[in-house]
């Protein structure tokens, strides 16, 4: 067996095992009365909270960088270390957002697949039609939410890359000349962070609307 075939086989096996584990996970929760719909709502809520935390970390990094480029005396090393800490915290928070979005998408796919399969079990054409309409409506709402989440996610890495560049540059050039050099980068980074925060706010609003819609359906 050549390497490419072996690699493909391993990938297929890994995906199969992952799918089996996920199915077992959802099945275990359903046995105690927690269904995919509820898990989806919880994961959307978790993602929203992760985005809010990430906004704070990026804002903190921006404020720290603002302090640094306006530095007028004192210990540069201390301010640099704080900026580096803010960058590392932003990186960790961004990864948390990515992980949560993936989890949201995973359970949504499982929910919609199950819902679609269950449509074939109806004997009442009217109830089947109503359930199918609700499925399509929920899918549209979720697709809008996921696009919003992914759009804000896509903006995180360029901001992190820019922050890292500034941190690395300052690490070995911690002097007035280095600070002057990064001032030219600051306006673009500030604009990118503000744009990211705006996109995250939009995603958070979409999350709130989706959660409200799902909770309303549960109560009706």
pLDDT per position as a tens digit, 65-78 = 888 888 766 677 88
Give the per-residue SS3 of 192-220: HHHHHHHHHHHHHHHHHHHHHHHHHHHHC
Work out the burial of residue 31: count CB atoms within 10 Å of its CB; fewer than 13 is exposed, 13-18 middle, 19 or more buried: exposed
* Confidence (pLDDT) at 70: 82
pLDDT > 60? residue 93: yes
Higher pLDDT, 31 or 133: 133
Q: What pLDDT score does 216 carry?
A: 81
Mean pLDDT of all residues in 43-50: 97
Question: What is the structure's pLDDT at 178?
Answer: 80
Tell me the domain boundaries of the chain.
Answer: 45-218
pLDDT of residue 185: 82
pLDDT at 162 over 80: yes
Q: For position 27, what pLDDT does the model report?
A: 72
pLDDT at 26 (0 to 100): 78
214 closest CA partner among 96, 106, 101, 112: 112
What is the pLDDT averaged over residues 15-28? 63
Percent of residues, the chain, with pLDDT higher than 70: 86
pLDDT band at 145 (very low <50, low <70, confident <90, very high): very high
Q: How confident is the model at residue 38 (pLDDT cuts 50, 70, 90)?
A: very high
Mean pLDDT, range 166-188, rounded to an integer: 83
């Amino acid at each position: 067996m050549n390497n490419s075939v072996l690699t493909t086989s391993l990938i297929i096996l890994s995906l199969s095992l992952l799918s089996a584990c996920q199915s077992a996970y959802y099945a275990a929760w359903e046995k105690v009365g927690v269904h995919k719909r509820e898990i989806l709502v919880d994961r959307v809520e978790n993602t929203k909270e992760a985005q809010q935390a990430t906004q704070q970390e990026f804002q903190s990094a921006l404020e720290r960088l603002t302090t640094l480029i306006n530095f007028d005396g004192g210990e540069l090393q201390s301010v640099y270390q704080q900026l580096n800490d803010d960058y590392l915290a932003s990186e960790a928070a961004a990864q948390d957002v990515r992980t949560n979005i993936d989890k949201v998408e995973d359970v949504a796919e499982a929910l919609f697949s199950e819902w679609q399969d269950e449509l074939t079990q109806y004997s009442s054409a009217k109830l089947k039609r109503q359930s199918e309409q609700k499925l399509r409506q929920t899918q549209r709402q979720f697709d809008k939410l996921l696009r919003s989440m992914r759009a804000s996610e896509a903006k995180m890495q360029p901001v992190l890359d820019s922050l890292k560049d500034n941190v690395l540059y300052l690490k070995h050039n911690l002097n007035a000349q280095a600070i002057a050099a990064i001032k030219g980068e600051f306006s673009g980074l500030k604009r990118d962070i503000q744009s990211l925060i705006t996109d995250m706010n939009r995603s958070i609003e979409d999350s709130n609307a989706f959660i409200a819609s799902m909770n309303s359906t549960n109560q009706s």
